[in-house]
A and B are shown apart, each in its own frame.
Chain A
Amino acid sequence: MPREIVTIQVGQCGNQIGRSFWSRALHEHAENAKYDGDSRPVFSEAMSTFFRNVNMSTKGEMYAGSEICDLKARACLIDMEDGVLAETMRGPLKDLFSTAQLLSDVSGAGNNWAHGFYEYGEKYQDLFLELVRSQAEPCDSLQSFFLMHSLGGGTGSGLGTRLLELLADNYGGTYRFATSVLPSSSGEGDDVITSPYNSVLALNQLTEHADAVLPIDNARLSVLSSKGASGSGSNAVKSAKGRDGFDAMNNVVARLLTDLTASMRFDGDLNTDLNEITTNLVPFPRMHYLCPALAPMGLGSHGSRGGMNSSVMVKGLFRDCFSPDCSLISMGETGVNVRNSSVLACGVFVRGSGIPISDVNANVARLQAELRMPNWNREGFKIGLCEVNGLEKRSSMMTLTNSDMINGVFESLVERFNKLYRRKANVHHYTQFCDAGIFDEALGSLEQLIQDYKDVGTRGGGAERGEDLIWDAAESQKKGRGVAF
């Protein structure tokens, strides 16, 4: 029984990421294709997570084990301008999507969250639900929705979060993951004046209606992609420097998403389903922001060298993934440092053949002693092991960390939001579509979230002083702190 994921890509950014993602997913499955007796590729269960296999003549669904006929992405492509979608449908991936999977308008949302959320949200609600139904119905066991969007603009941010709400209302039992690209926290290079408004308003919705959000910092993406982090060899570096740096940036996100789902699609010693990610990494329902990091980043990194002792390599992957260099969230000029944060929970997902669990455990044990974590979560780590390499054909690692390191991003957004909002700049564009109260509500929600993350160390345990409850493994064992019977 396959577990399917329906991808919903909204807005320009969402659709560009989507393009990289589908190309990557397709290549990954081509690398690992299985063949029948006549050496024709077979539609495998692993593929059915993201793809449908449609019989062209009967238009019927072909299930795992059949020969590959016509692959269709389980996706909804949505944009309120038609440029990017048209480009997709002219490009090399055009056969993956049928026109029935597209939903577009021509006028755009004008970088206005309220325009996307209210105006387009109303207008396209029924069409959207119809489109989702057409994708959800052929699924045996729909596991989750993947929303890809950015928060700074109007369509992805506004319409994207509206769609999330619709999914919550109509498919409550299905997990909703959002990959949300945040505008640069410094505001540098951000050409959308209203992006702080859009982001804060969208975050309010994400906090309410998503099961997990993978926040990604736009500024960080461009730094990493210029280092060749997308990893597809020297081409990535060239393209980052050359005409289209976006490709390399989108490829980083695509890698994140394929790695995230690798363990549910392919075999491994410790399979991890998406629903396990929320179970383990989200202790409190609103605090579901999982900061991603990827290693190896760049090309010359040790993960890429063959023939290396695997325990040395795994150690290197851990060192990288928990260093600021590999984080997709930035703190000023660099990536944010996990070691300076209070970690609620952390997921470690390793890809690569022949990596023993004991190597991973040894590194996790070390981290448990080093990271600041609350005393009630001394286990704190969720591990996934997938034996199939990613496209780079080398061992790699991804971490998702639920910690207060996201506060840096949130706080700078609040600051930039307030700069505009104090003068009520541009607010009238929004009040055309909605009540002004939504601004205060969204700001309040984000400030509460920031406070919740700050309180991480002080929750529970019955003690009054925060530092008492932040533990390190050795100390807490010494104290033998526990509940008395």
Chain B
Amino acid sequence: MYFRVPSSSTSSSTLSSTPTGRAVLIDTEPKVINKCLDSKNQKLRNFKYDPRSACCVGDGGGAGNNWARGNSLFNVGRVREEILDKIRREIERNDRLSSFHIISSLAGGTGSGLGCAVTSGVKDSFSSKGLCMNTVVSPFSSGEVIVQDYNAALTLASLLRSSDGIVVMDNEVAVRKCKKGWRIERPKMDDVNRVMAEGLGGALKESYASKSDEASRVRPHGIPTLVSHCVPHPSYKLLSILHVPTMPRESVEFTRDTWEGGVVGRLRQMSRTGCEVEQEIKWGVKEEMQKFSPSPHKSPPAPPPTRRTDDVWEVPTSPFDSGFGYVYPPQNPSSPFACHRTYSKYRSFDKHGTLIQNSSLPALKALGRVEGAMRKHEAGAYLWQYEREGVGEGEWEEVWNTGTEALGNYRRL
């Protein structure tokens, strides 16, 4: 689904037989791309990138943490053509393209600004080819980028219009997972990235809606089912991911969980209490006013071992029914909860569950950045830099409108 695997007859060396990610790498500066493409690093992984699908665009000046600068880069010279060409090449090498997944920062400059432009570009040029899901990574609130609220507000406003579904991940939450789940006392950036990839991987892992589908390998769950189920209404596009368990690599083999009380139970308590890290679950709390938007979540949970008696297909999902303390808004469709499962293990977990939710608490947390940006805007701070790159009062007005509308929507649930 996510890789091209070379046919075994043509490849000889180990490197050329490794699968190639169906990915286009885009940046305004070469350092990170070079690191990804470096064959030394490629050997450490079990996949590689296609160097022809990487592009470093712009004049090399970078976006300088300025969304407006990153965004306008797309229209400089031949940048648009170059990027869309690379994407088209990857499209052409797919037999059955299902969707696009654009991963970027929420509030940097290049990822957020250029990422939004690329998203719109993909929508304009290839919307007939598939859905477009975005994953955006929220920066640390202490530091990293001072103008993050501005950039985040611009990103959210832009993606709320153009994207089909927006998964919001958070660096700070990821650090807590590293510390409490993986027991890394002082996590590095690499750990943070890996823990996020674990969550995202769980959400996108091939799984099925029924046992018979899995047996015949038809209709696997992927981005299209995820987006179409979790975003039943265009006013509610913000998704978040919960996953269980989060534990140190070396403990995985020695851990045996139960489904009902363990994986499912913990996911349920996390989503009900607005908790983002497994180790922070508060069991005493009964209800924390967690309200769900239309179609809150679906869990493609539970890639478990096949040989064990506790069959993944037997796990009840009734804990997620509205009778169990869940508040589903009335406007949601009849079955807000959907479950996808698979026998095949996720990584080496005995049992693993992922919950993708379209829920008010995490959505409001992300949208809170719009309010932060409005505070800055009221003080007039930093506006001159955005003005210089073409984001003037009219654009800000639109951002506030889109942002407050989304906030209102989620608050009303």
Contacts and interface: CB of A to CB of B under 8 A. Distances in A.
Interface stretch (B84-92, B162-170, B254-262, B377-385): B377-385
A461 B143 contact: no
Contacts of A140: 60
A365 B142 contact: yes
Interface in B14-30: 29-30
Contacts of A281: 146
Given A141-B59, A275-B61, A483 B371 contact: yes
Interface string B399-413: 000001001100000
Given A283-B381, A382-B144, A359 B186 contact: yes
B378 A377 contact: no
Interface stretch (B4-12, B62-70, B287-295): B62-70
B151 to A, nearest CB: 10
B147 interface: yes
Contacts of B61: 3, 141, 143, 173, 275
A358 B148 CA distance: 18
A345 B142 CA distance: 12
A358 B385 contact: no
Interface residues of A, number: 54
A461 B378 contact: yes
B354 to A, nearest CB: 25
A77 interface: no
A348 interface: yes
Interface stretch (B124-132, B187-195, B240-248, B275-283): B187-195
B173 interface: no
Interface in A159-173: 173
B371 A379 contact: no
Contact of B140 (A173, A345, A361, A377): A361
A485 B404 contact: yes
A358 B59 contact: no
Nearest to A385: B189
Contacts of B32: 271
Interface stretch (A20-28, A246-254, A368-376): A368-376
Contacts of B148: 379
Contacts of B187: 356-358
A45 interface: yes
B376 interface: yes
A466 interface: no
B246 to A, nearest CB: 16
A250 B189 CA distance: 35
B287 to A, nearest CB: 22
Contacts of B66: 275, 279
Given A280-B146, A379-B143, A460-B379, A269 B188 contact: yes
B64 A382 contact: no
B378 A357 contact: no
A206 B159 CA distance: 39
Interface in A272-313: 273, 275-276, 278-285, 310-311
Nearest to B175: A358
B64 A275 contact: yes
A462 interface: yes
A374 B188 contact: no
A364 B381 CA distance: 21
Contacts of B64: 273, 275-276, 278-279
Interface in B103-131: 109
Given A1-B56, A3-B29, A357-B189, A284 B380 contact: yes
A349 to B, nearest CB: 11
A380 interface: yes
A360 interface: yes
Interface string B170-190: 000001000100000011111
Contacts of A285: 384
B219 interface: no
B101 to A, nearest CB: 24
Contacts of B141: 378-379
A381 B381 contact: no
A345 B385 CA distance: 15
Nearest to A274: B64
Nearest to B64: A275
A385 B143 CA distance: 12
B149 interface: yes
A383 B31 CA distance: 18
Contacts of A345: 146
Contacts of A141: 59-61
Contacts of B382: 279, 282-283
A381 B148 CA distance: 11
A124 B140 CA distance: 48
A315 to B, nearest CB: 12
A103 interface: no
**Which of A271, A281, A348, A357 gathers most chain B CB within 10 Å?**
A357
A420 B64 CA distance: 43
Contacts of B35: 267
Nearest to B108: A276
Contacts of B404: 485
Given A141-B59, A460-B379, A462-B378, A269 B189 contact: yes
Interface in B359-413: 371-372, 374-376, 378-382, 384-385, 404, 407-408
A279 B109 contact: yes
A242 interface: no
A183 interface: no
A154 interface: no
B65 A461 contact: no
Contacts of A270: 144, 189
A279 B60 CA distance: 16
A482 interface: yes
Contacts of B147: 279-280
A455 to B, nearest CB: 11
Contact of B379 (A143, A275, A311, A461): A461
B145 A379 contact: yes
A202 B268 CA distance: 64
Contacts of A1: 29-30, 56, 60
Contacts of A280: 65, 145-147
Given A269-B189, A381-B142, 15 more contacts: A1-B60, A45-B30, A267-B31, A271-B31, A279-B382, A279-B385, A356-B186, A357-B189, A358-B186, A361-B175, A368-B142, A377-B376, A380-B146, A460-B375, A485-B407
Report the 10 A-B pairs with minimum CB-CB distance, sorted nearest first.
A460-B379, A141-B60, A275-B64, A283-B381, A381-B143, A1-B60, A269-B189, A383-B143, A356-B186, A280-B146
10 contacts: A269-B188, A271-B29, A357-B189, A358-B186, A376-B375, A377-B381, A378-B141, A383-B140, A460-B379, A483-B375
Interface of A: 1-3, 45, 140-141, 143, 173, 267, 269-271, 273, 275-276, 278-285, 310-311, 345, 348, 356-361, 364-365, 368, 374-383, 385, 459-462, 482-483, 485
